[in-house]
Chain A
Amino acid sequence: MSSEGQPLLEVHDVKKHFDVKSHGAKAVLRAVDGVSLSLNSGETLGVVGESGCGKSTLARMIVGLEKPTDGKILMEGGDISTPGRAGRAYRANVQMVFQNPSGSMNPRRSIGASVAEPLQARGVRNCREEVAKVLARVGLNPDFASRRPHQLSGGQQQRASIARALISDPRLVVHDEAIASLDISLQAQILNLLLDLQQELGMSYVFISHDLAAVQIISHRIVVMYLGEVVEATSAGEFARQPLHPYSLSLRAATLFPDPERERNKPHVLLKGDVPSPLAPPSGCRFHPRCPLATDLCKAEKPRLSKIAEEHHVACHYPEKTPTITEGGAGASRSTETAREVI
């Protein structure tokens, strides 16, 4: 068990660089470039960012599917890359739910066999009862254990992959875009299921998604990534009240809400251009070519992720100017409204 005050998961300055070929020349792709974060027991950490920001690579490193180029990942104080039995014990506490439920289940094995696998991997022989129990827990009929993945709908398949992640009683489940491939009505069902399970079982989640609204529903704390780096880390409440990195703010502005009046009047496009290639990240602050606040300082010097309030870290030279980006617009009035709802 973790001692009092020790985070369940600690990620220390983790890097993942891939050697790739670009136009025939060797190059280094910095998928994750110096990320640190921590997660307490029973909490959900939401990681949000656009494609190529490194969020999935980070997820794969946390569960041990990918080895960091540099840095350390600790579960309950123990390094998950420790060889042998000790490392296995640390890793056993982490499970993962993948984006595509049909692709992450073996089509030729029954649901029951797939769900039982984490237990069998650690030597448990007869797990029929456990399988039935965990299927019921995720809202599936235990009879589904004998079916094949193709006999289940997308929502049921995703419930089965959640069951597979839960059967070994992990302390941390990493969800990598776990609801992205589902229809809207099913997304809400799965989010509710995850909230219920957390309350019953007390485990932690790392919830990785490009969907800011979903992340805001499920997370206690939110980390925003851009081009392999964390640009903002804060509590969900603070984030809803006022994100302080210009990128976080523009992510929120670009998120569409089901409200025609608000959508017609708010500015959506705060950003120009595309995300630059992680093969050649921009100098200084990696966000500066798209940032409406950028100055010469931002081109020259990389801002450190620094604490600007209790539980609020931002990597920006001018976080105090960020709220002015939408000032006076419909976006600004909405953010105060959101804050009220949160409080």
Chain B
Amino acid sequence: MSDVPVLKVEELITRFGGGPGQGVTAVDHVSFSVGRGETLGIVGESGSGKSVTAMSILRLVPRPGRIDGGRVELNGVDLLPLSEDEIRKRRGTECGMVFQNPMTALNPVFSIGWQMGEALRAHGRERNSSQIIEGSLAGVGMPDPQRQANSFPHQMSGGMRQRVVIALGLINEPQLLIADEPTTALDVTIQAQVLDLMKKLTSEKGAALLMITHNMGVIARMCDRVAVMYAGEVVEEAPVDEIFSNARHPYTRGLLRSVPDGARPLQKMPTLPGEPPDMSRPFDGCRFRARCEFADHRCSAHPDLLEIRPGHRSRCWVAQAGEEFGPQPDSEADNVV
């Protein structure tokens, strides 16, 4: 891994509505980085700001959303002050994107080949375009790429369409691929195929992968490092094994506990009480406080995201004080009947 990370996000703030400094802060001082060949997972529930973070990187936040501060460095260049022309040049070539729903990510009235060609033409790569298109369709495991290039999105199954979207994301050989819930719309056996394919393609090219998902299983399967988001903030960040074996934020621990593993039929699962907070109201202290079983007087002050051991950051007073959370999520589950 070289010194300069492929993507470095620093103190990113994205808001919706209101005047400058006002409105709903969907992404609140979020920082992370992804190195060459690395896969970073951003995990969180709906409303945690994970998708808005992904959109903000390529400056694709839909109105009335706007980026209100921070830096997004792609290969060392800050994208936020760039002109619309300059950012457009970088979309696709330096950073590709795979969206959640393959039906809406593709234009229904153009053939697959035409849409892939458009991605090439946008970056001046007209020469041998049909060869490149067929090659990249073959690369995502499409049978008979020549015929498929002439077909339309509605003629394909969901799994095939998502392969096209991945091929599109990678056709200009970006160093970074952002995948926002790439398999959520797919069936499990197809999900397994698509994930394996993304892993293979990005590692072949040494590209960095930013994986946005709510699925802890996908994180376990795909990622090297994980950032957990809650209410617009990163609340914990650590290497993947560390997150699953030694999570140091109560939200992460609760999230992990409530994933069914199918091993204990007809027994109640430990759950995270309550629901995610209303983002339009101002916060007071730790944002997770109301749902947290460990909350005490310290939590009325807002904690920072601090390193609690090398490579492991947590936004929790209890973890920062070096106190224990009790038994590991796994062993805890055994005690619940």
Contact = CB atoms under 8 A, between A and B. Distances in A.
Interface of A: 50-51, 153-156, 183-189, 191-192, 195-196, 210-220, 236-237, 240, 250-251, 253-264, 268-269, 271, 274-275, 338, 341-342
A192 B221 CA distance: 27
> Which 5 pairs of residues, A with B, have the shortest CB-CB distance?
A256-B217, A216-B262, A188-B258, A50-B187, A258-B216
B189 A188 contact: no
B214 interface: yes
Contacts of B219: 258, 260
Interface string B257-288: 11111111111111111011000000000000
Given A184-B214, A187-B258, A274-B160, A219 B265 contact: yes
Given A268-B196, A271-B189, A258 B256 contact: yes
Contact of A275 (B187, B240, B264, B276): B187
Contacts of B241: 260-261
A269 B157 contact: no
Contact of A185 (B263, B267, B272): B272
A50 B183 CA distance: 14
B188 interface: yes
Most buried by B among A156, A184, A211, A250: A184
Contacts of B215: 184, 256
Given A156-B275, A191-B268, 10 more contacts: A188-B258, A236-B266, A240-B262, A256-B220, A257-B220, A257-B261, A263-B220, A264-B221, A269-B192, A338-B262
B220 A259 contact: yes
Contacts of B276: 183
Contacts, number: 156
Given A184-B255, A186-B275, A256 B221 contact: yes
Contact of B189 (A216, A219, A250, A257): A250
Contacts of A271: 189, 193
A155 B271 CA distance: 13
A213 B255 CA distance: 15
Interface residues of B, number: 48
Given A184-B259, A251-B189, A274 B159 contact: yes
Contacts of A269: 189, 192-193, 196
Interface string B144-166: 00000000000001111000000
Interface string B186-220: 01111111011000000000000000001111111
Contacts of B216: 184, 258
Contacts of A184: 45, 214-216, 255, 258-259
A214 B271 contact: no
B246 interface: no
A216 B265 contact: yes
Given A50-B188, A183-B276, A263-B220, A220 B266 contact: yes
A125 to B, nearest CB: 35
Given A212-B262, A269-B196, A195 B268 contact: yes
A211 B276 CA distance: 23
Most buried by B among A183, A215, A219, A260: A260
Nearest to B43: A184
Contacts of A240: 262-263, 265
A258 B193 contact: no
A263 B217 contact: yes
B1 to A, nearest CB: 19
30 contacts: A50-B188, A183-B46, A183-B214, A185-B45, A185-B254, A185-B255, A187-B260, A188-B269, A188-B271, A192-B271, A195-B266, A213-B260, A213-B262, A217-B265, A217-B266, A217-B267, A219-B265, A220-B265, A236-B266, A240-B265, A255-B188, A255-B217, A256-B215, A256-B218, A257-B259, A258-B256, A260-B221, A268-B196, A274-B159, A342-B265
B154 to A, nearest CB: 12
B99 interface: no
A342 B269 CA distance: 15
